[in-house]
Amino acid sequence: MTSDAIAHRRALHQIPELDDELPETLAYVTRALEPLGAELSHPIKGSVCAYFDVGAKETVAFRADMDALPVTECTGLFFASGKPGRMHACGHDGHTAIALGLAAETSRMIKDGVQLPRNVLFVFQPAEETTGGAERLVDAGIFEKYGVTRIFGLHLWPNLPEATVWSRPGPLMARSNEVTLTVTGKSVHVSRAAEGHDALRAAMAWTQAAYDYVEGMPAHVRRTLQFGRLVSGTVRNAVAGEARVEGTLRTYEEDTAQTIRETLKNNAKAIAESTGCTLDVHYSTGYPAVWNNEALFETVQADLGDDRVGELADPVLAAEDFSFYQRRVPGVFFFLGVGQTAELHSPHFCWNDEVVIPAGIAFMKKMMTLP
């Protein structure tokens, strides 16, 4: 089973596709699932679900994301990406291969007469990296259709010991908001600067005020705000008539996010009054925080006994759309260590599938048989 899963990973790694445009990936995964005896469905574009009905009242779900990234691979692997400018640089090929391996094991156990405590649903989703395929899947009603009462997922994670599993109760990954400031001023030649309204200066003032506010919050408030792009003006000898600032806000608690968003908007109003410019602050919806259900997490730990997962001291500031599943049913998300590797999204991200994939399948099998 594990050798098949490793082969799945290497095949998928060669055909990376983006967003919900996953025709080759979807065809491959569907072909791998067809012989297993599960009920297959395609609730949204770029997805496939496999349902194993064992006659139980409840269903446990396992999620795998299938989309890749617009990255040019530099690993030198013999099974490297065959699509220029696209790469599985976030481990989704591994997530999918582990889920396929677990699905094959589920099929085998059912054929061997093993009585599973719950029906099993495998959710293979698109668009984790882009528009949040998870939200569209839960909105399609798959949890209600199959009676899902809990869900598990995992993510390959660099710089954790290879083949070890880590997580924590409560907040694990951050809520994300993309922040965009648009400033409209009045452009004039620098010789008449007093007649203009300097959009660049207004943008810089707002950005600095935003940094000062967020960095001045109490240390126990987990948050980060970072701007990575500022575009303004046309030439060096004219007051800038327009400016645009782009950044990202990451938090865990909704109250914290709301307070920061309101403060940044109020700062924009104050700077507009003082500069004569128009400032508009826009926030994307983003992904909610990945928040592991505390009771289910304790159930996991109690059942594993001496094999308990490692508990992270702090959550991470990365974001994940697995959070949309957790808003519908109790869920726990895990990190599966891949050792000392390049970071996620790096063109050099490379890991040992012969060690990591069997460990992932074995661990998730334990989640399938939890009481």
Identify whether 65 is a catalytic site residue.
yes
3-state secondary structure of 108: helix
The per-residue pLDDT for 51 is 98
The per-residue pLDDT for 2 is 87
Tokens of 346: 């790096």
3-state secondary structure of 193: helix
Q: What digits encode the pLDDT tens for the residues 308-333?
A: 999 999 999 999 999 999 999 999 99
What gap in Å lies between CA 91 and CA 85, rounded to an integer? 16
3-state secondary structure of 318: coil
Q: May I ask the CATH class of domain 2-173+289-368? A: alpha beta
Count of C-beta atoms within a 10 Å radius of residue 274: 10
What gap in Å lies between CA 103 and CA 299, rounded to an integer? 23
Instruction: State yes or no: pLDDT of 11 exceeds 70.
Output: yes
- Using the CB atoms, write b or e for 216-237: b if 16+ within 10 Å: eeeeeebbebebeeeebbeeee
Domain range list for the chain: 2-173+289-368, 175-283
Handedness of CA 340, 345, 349, 353 (dihedral sign): positive
Q: What digits encode the pLDDT tens for the residues 224-281?
A: 999 999 999 999 999 999 999 999 999 999 899 999 999 999 999 999 999 999 999 9
Query: Is 175-283 assigned to CATH 3.50.80.10?
Result: no
Identify whether 53 is a catalytic site residue.
no
Q: By the 8 A CB rule, do 25 and 66 touch?
A: yes
Per cent of the chain over pLDDT 70 is 100
Catalytic hit among 17, 20, 65, 353: 65
DSSP for 51-77? EE--S-S-EEEEEEE---BS----S--
Residue at 253: amino acid letter = E
What distance separates the 2 farthest-apart alpha carbons in the chain? 86
What does pLDDT average to over the chain? 97
What gap in Å lies between CA 91 and CA 237, rounded to an integer? 48
CA distances from 52 to 206, 213, 292 (A): 54, 51, 25
Per cent of the chain over pLDDT 90 is 97
Instruction: State yes or no: pLDDT of 93 exceeds 70.
Output: yes
The per-residue pLDDT for 25 is 98
Bridge partners, 120 (sequence order): 52, 60
Which strands, in side-by-side order, build the sheet including 331-337?
Answer: 39-41, 48-52, 119-125, 59-65, 148-157, 331-337, 165-167, 310-311
Q: By the 8 A CB rule, do 250 and 319 touch?
A: yes
**Alpha helix segments (H runs only) across the chain:** 2-13, 23-33, 92-111, 133-139, 142-146, 199-215, 254-275, 294-304, 323-326, 353-368
pLDDT band at 286 (very low <50, low <70, confident <90, very high): confident
Instruction: State yes or no: pLDDT of 1 exceeds 70.
Output: no
Q: What digits encode the pLDDT tens for the residues 196-223?
A: 999 999 999 999 999 999 999 999 999 9
Catalytic hit among 129, 135, 198, 320: 129
Q: Is the pTM of this model over 0.85?
A: yes
What gap in Å lies between CA 297 and CA 242, rounded to an integer? 50
